[in-house]
Amino acid sequence: DADVTQTPRNRITKTGKRIMLECSQTKGHDRMYWYRQDPGLGLRLIYYSFDVKDINKGEISDGYSVSRQAQAKFSLSLESAIPNQTALYFCATSSPRILAGAGDEQFFGPGTRLTVL
């Protein structure tokens, strides 16, 4: 079974609709992230959470909101979807390394391909 799962894997919706993308992990990691990926723009961070009570905006949070329902679940919502939110969305998790200054490896889910018409 995959350690990081995302649902749905593909979604086509219309402008103005509310959409929720869900992410679950069985790795026991405290840290979770949402990214979007667009051709030519690479991965851009939307929101991240270092524990259940911690939510932080990333580079491109406008138009998105998140909820960290539990350590294992982190959902991303588009309250009113627009066409330029068409993208590939990835959830990721990580656990901080013990050594100070050492970065933590991120583990990605398989992605959700969202199309907003």
Partner 1 sequence: RKEVEQDPGPFNVPEGATVAFNCTYSNSASQSFFWYRQDCRKEPKLLMSVYSSGNEDGRFTAQLNRASQYISLLIRDSKLSDSATYLCVVNQAGTALIFGKGTTLSVSS
User: What is the total residue count of the chain?
Assistant: 117
Given its phi and psi angles, is residue 109 left (phi above 0), alpha (psi -120 to 50 degrees) or beta?
beta
Site for partner 1 in 2-31 (CB under 8 A): none
CA distances from 43 to 18, 53, 75 (A): 23, 25, 18
Site for partner 1 in 98-117 (CB under 8 A): 100-106, 108-111
Q: Which stretch binds partner 1 (CB under 8 A): 12-20, 62-70, 77-85, 95-103?
A: 95-103
Torsion of CA 49, 53, 57, 58, to 10 degrees: -10
- Mask of contacts with partner 1, 34-73, x by CB under 8 A? -x----xxxx-x--x-------x-x---------------
Structure tokens at 53: 């009570």
Closer to partner 1 by CB, 54 or 79: give it.
54
Q: Give residues in contact with partner 1 (CB under 8 A).
A: 33, 35, 40-43, 45, 48, 56, 58, 88, 90, 100-106, 108-111
